[in-house]
Chains A and B, each alone.
With several copies, the nearest count.
Chain A
Amino acid sequence: MSASRIAEAFANGPAFIPYLAAGDPDVESTKEYVRALVRGGADIVELGLPFSEPIAEGSTIQNAIVRSLSGGMTPESYFELVADLDIDVPVVCMTYYNLIYQFGDEEGPEPFVRRAAAVGIDGFVVPDLPAEESGPLREACDAHGLDLVFIVAPTTRGERLERIMEQVSGYVYVQARLGTTGARTDVSDQTDTSLGRLREWDVPKAVGFGISEREHAERIVGGGADGIIVGSALVNIVAEGTSAGSVTRAQNVAEGSSTETVAERLESKARELKEGALAGRENRPQPERP
């Protein structure tokens, strides 16, 4: 298999992978926000297709999903959104298995994957699909040349880890800590342990769950990660914009509140995190060659 667009995204140093929930709060905003993130330095974009029972999500992303679903987001409008995006970084679709499974008239995940490939999606992350159940989706991805990213949890070890690493492609999503998604103010020690455990595998390791600040990004990349995944910290910015009810700079200025638009704030947050990641790589102890 030739190197995928996703694999290439890790080629030039640490990858910054932002996540947003598609359709939060509406399709046009999502497009604007994604482009802002790309301007801010995103190397890959994870775009969530909202599912009504997001069991792996913390409250920040749960709320984003509620906003998106009540705005009318569906798999079909998701695909249209992606097709319209017009960005030059790869897009990873993050969603739950039932949406993949139900799509289209034929049984199984193939119709979903086919359609995803058609609109330019490069890979998937499916939080409720462990390696044990991923056979059909893996096949469909292979057939259409898409990557299937797997999450490795702090509790994943030994045989389980091997089984996952046999199946993963694109990158491995290193879950920084137990629990659900959500911005935190510290970096978990579990991250280093997990990265250590993964050292022997030659696939990019992107760390997510809880990263919200430049320092986190720096520490994690300094610790050996090939990329950082940031969701809730960005979704929070979208949420603030929504609750402020103001999305244009003119309005913000008129109301005397923050002078930046949501898109601008996303862009500068992205830049901050990307810089953190780059700084982390500088600090990284050079692997000793024997």
Chain B
Amino acid sequence: MSTDTNTKFGRYGGQYVPEALMPAIEELEEAYQRYVLGNEAGFMDDFRERLRDFGGRPTPLQRAEQLSERYDSEIYLKREDLLHGGAHKLNNALGQVLLAKYMGKERIIAETGAGQHGTATAMACAHLGMDCEIYMGERDINRQRPNVFRMRLNGAEVNPVTTGRGTLKEAISETMRDWATSVEDTHYVIGSVVGPHPFPRMVRDFQSVIGEEAREQIEEKARRLPDSVLACAGGGSNTMGAFHEFVPQEGVGLYAVEAGGSSLEVDEEGGVAPNSASLSTGSEGVLHGARTKLLQDRDGQIMESHSVSSGLDYAGVGPELAHLVDEGRVVPVNVDDDGALEAFHRLSQLEGVIPALETAHAFAYLENEHENLGDCVIVNVSGRGDKDLESVIEETAEREIDIAPDMDVFSGGGL
């Protein structure tokens, strides 16, 4: 069924998974071809209608008045933060859970880092009446408690993953293990454009509504294409979702903003990269089913990554992004934790939009490089920051951020 040409993006991608999963992946690929690409049984119509009525699409493309003035250019925000659940993640989660339903699956599993993909999946499962179990690193559970609670409220089980550092990487591995056991009645809703084919392609297709809408909206509002599109990149799903439509438009600069963490230097000895900049600094390897750019040591052991934002805290990245970087079509850039936090505060104060810490990375890059991004820039606001309040209080307290508000009213402690 799958041939080398369509399972890969250039040298990246593929299907590096245990044999037990291969039949399920082939079944998925068939379903993807039929339902997603072929709109069989009106799947895509059903999906788009649910994205609209349940999800709240289209999301606005908002001209950011204060930022436009600050940078003396036209800055537009693609408001995925307004999607149900508070991030772009629902586009994909709803698509996959619906597809699983069309395929006759009964149970959904998923991993989550920031909890946004988990909440989106749990919401989609409640909406579609599917059983749902979410794997989440213990450390992330502690960083993102409101999201954990939201998953529970939507009826999902949340399974803490205690291996490794307890972040997204471990959660993905653990979900794959579950899937290897349950593959016959279960679909694994992977949360980004990662994993074995057909996931990277399919997730991108579900997410590309972002760029499709944005293009239509910018053409209506500005009567032109943007000079640049910025999106943060963890696995890269909001990134590919925002970029896909613009890839053929050579004049549009595409910037994937990764988490520079506390430093770009790695600690080979400890196996720790204090960042998640796999596109910018990683090397080719195989992780979680795909060949892609990775944070790994000389031997090929995967490093523990780090970012102030759980959703970017991942050692890999989608294979299509890796390919587009190699091709020179996508520019991989990164900003550090400090810059992201500052940008978080800046956007909250200037525009009345509290971004996710993940998203804040894109705004930090805008702040630093706006002079080189042209006159018309779209920034994808991949999610809202409600989930991050606790982290922001803590992380802000550890730094000197001039523009951060004084937190006196919280003298009684955290949230």
Show the binding face of A for B, using Cβ within 8 Å: 51-58, 62, 66, 69, 74-76, 96-103, 127-133, 150-157, 160, 164, 175, 178-180
**Distance A127 CA – B289 CA, assembled complex (angstroms):** 11
Q: Is the CB of A133 within 8 A of B14?
A: yes
Smallest CB separation, A76 vs chain B (Å): 8
Q: Which residues of B contact A128 (CB under 8 A)?
A: 16-18, 286, 289
Interface members, chain B 264-320 (any A CB < 8 Å): 271, 285-289, 294, 296, 298-302
**Distance A130 CA – B26 CA, assembled complex (angstroms):** 12
Choice from A101, A132, A151, A178 contacting B15 with Cβ under 8 Å:
A132
Binds A, one of B42-50, B75-83, B169-177, B369-377: B169-177
Q: Is the CB of A130 within 8 A of B22?
A: yes
Q: Is the CB of A55 within 8 A of B19?
A: no
**Distance A153 CA – B15 CA, assembled complex (angstroms):** 16
Q: Is the CB of B296 within 8 A of A102?
A: yes
Smallest CB separation, A202 vs chain B (Å): 20
Asked if B182 is at the interface of the complex by the 8 Å CB criterion, the answer is yes
Say whether, besides A130-B19, A133-B15, A153-B19, A101 and B286 are in contact (CB < 8 Å).
yes
Say whether, besides A101-B285, A128-B16, A52 and B180 are in contact (CB < 8 Å).
no
Nearest chain A residue, comparing its CB with the CB of B304:
A52
Choice from A52, A103, A132 contacting B302 with Cβ under 8 Å:
A52
Q: Is the CB of B288 within 8 A of A75?
A: no
**Distance A51 CA – B297 CA, assembled complex (angstroms):** 11
Interface members, chain B 166-209 (any A CB < 8 Å): 169, 173, 176-177, 180-184
Q: Which residues of A contact B7 (CB under 8 A)?
A: 132
Say whether, besides A102-B296, A128-B289, A180-B181, A55 and B176 are in contact (CB < 8 Å).
yes
Choice from A53, A130, A180 contacting B287 with Cβ under 8 Å:
A53
Q: Which residues of B contact A103 (CB under 8 A)?
A: 299-300
22 A-B interface contacts by CB (under 8 A): A51-B301, A53-B169, A53-B288, A96-B286, A97-B286, A98-B296, A99-B299, A99-B301, A102-B296, A102-B299, A102-B300, A103-B299, A127-B19, A130-B17, A130-B19, A133-B15, A153-B18, A155-B24, A178-B20, A178-B181, A178-B182, A180-B181
Residues 1-26 of chain B: 1 if any A CB is under 8 Å from the residue's CB, otherwise 0?
Answer: 01000010000001111111011101
Q: Is the CB of B23 within 8 A of A160?
A: yes
Say whether, besides A128-B17, A130-B19, A178-B184, A53 and B300 are in contact (CB < 8 Å).
no
Q: Is the CB of B287 within 8 A of A178?
A: no
Smallest CB separation, A273 vs chain B (Å): 24
Say whether, besides A53-B287, A102-B300, A155 and B173 are in contact (CB < 8 Å).
no
Asked if B142 is at the interface of the complex by the 8 Å CB criterion, the answer is no
Q: Is the CB of A151 within 8 A of B19?
A: yes
Specify the main secondary structure of chain B where it touches its partner.
Answer: mixed
Say whether, besides A97-B286, A101-B286, A178-B184, A52 and B301 are in contact (CB < 8 Å).
yes
**Distance A236 CA – B149 CA, assembled complex (angstroms):** 36
Nearest chain A residue, comparing its CB with the CB of B283:
A102
Asked if B249 is at the interface of the complex by the 8 Å CB criterion, the answer is no
Say whether, besides A98-B287, A101-B285, A156-B23, A55 and B18 are in contact (CB < 8 Å).
yes
Nearest chain A residue, comparing its CB with the CB of B302:
A52
Choice from B2, B26, B285 contacting A98 with Cβ under 8 Å:
B285
Q: Is the CB of A160 within 8 A of B301?
A: no
Smallest CB separation, A49 vs chain B (Å): 10
Say whether, besides A51-B301, A53-B302, A151-B18, A102 and B285 are in contact (CB < 8 Å).
yes
Smallest CB separation, A111 vs chain B (Å): 12
Interface members, chain B 247-263 (any A CB < 8 Å): none
Q: Which residues of B contact A75 (CB under 8 A)?
A: 299-300
Q: Is the CB of B181 within 8 A of A98?
A: no
Smallest CB separation, B356 vs chain A (Å): 26
* Residue among B14, B19, B23, B296 having the largest count of chain A Cβ atoms under 10 Å: B19
Asked if B163 is at the interface of the complex by the 8 Å CB criterion, the answer is yes
**Distance A84 CA – B7 CA, assembled complex (angstroms):** 41
**Distance A53 CA – B17 CA, assembled complex (angstroms):** 12
Smallest CB separation, A211 vs chain B (Å): 17
Q: Which residues of B contact A155 (CB under 8 A)?
A: 20, 22-24, 183-184
Nearest chain B residue, comparing its CB with the CB of A159:
B1
Q: Is the CB of A55 within 8 A of B2?
A: no
**Distance A85 CA – B271 CA, assembled complex (angstroms):** 28
Q: Which residues of A contact B17 (CB under 8 A)?
A: 55, 128, 130
**Distance A148 CA – B406 CA, assembled complex (angstroms):** 48
**Distance A211 CA – B164 CA, assembled complex (angstroms):** 27
Given contact pairs A101-B285, A128-B16, A175-B20, a sample of 8 additional A-B residue pairs in the complex whose CB atoms are under 8 Å apart: A55-B17, A98-B286, A130-B19, A155-B22, A155-B184, A156-B20, A178-B20, A179-B180
**Distance A52 CA – B271 CA, assembled complex (angstroms):** 10
Q: Is the CB of A55 within 8 A of B22?
A: no
Smallest CB separation, B295 vs chain A (Å): 11
Smallest CB separation, A36 vs chain B (Å): 28
Q: Which residues of B contact A58 (CB under 8 A)?
A: 177
Q: Is the CB of B22 within 8 A of A160?
A: yes
* Residue among A51, A66, A102, A129 having the largest count of chain B Cβ atoms under 10 Å: A102
Q: Is the CB of B180 within 8 A of A178?
A: yes
Smallest CB separation, B134 vs chain A (Å): 18
Q: Which residues of B contact A152 (CB under 8 A)?
A: 19
Q: Is the CB of A132 within 8 A of B18?
A: no
**Distance A106 CA – B380 CA, assembled complex (angstroms):** 39
Q: Which residues of A contact B177 (CB under 8 A)?
A: 55-58, 179-180
Nearest chain B residue, comparing its CB with the CB of A100:
B300
Choice from B15, B163, B300 contacting A130 with Cβ under 8 Å:
B15
Say whether, besides A102-B296, A102-B300, A132-B2, A153 and B20 are in contact (CB < 8 Å).
yes
Q: Is the CB of B19 within 8 A of A156?
A: yes
**Distance A76 CA – B297 CA, assembled complex (angstroms):** 14
**Distance A156 CA – B184 CA, assembled complex (angstroms):** 12
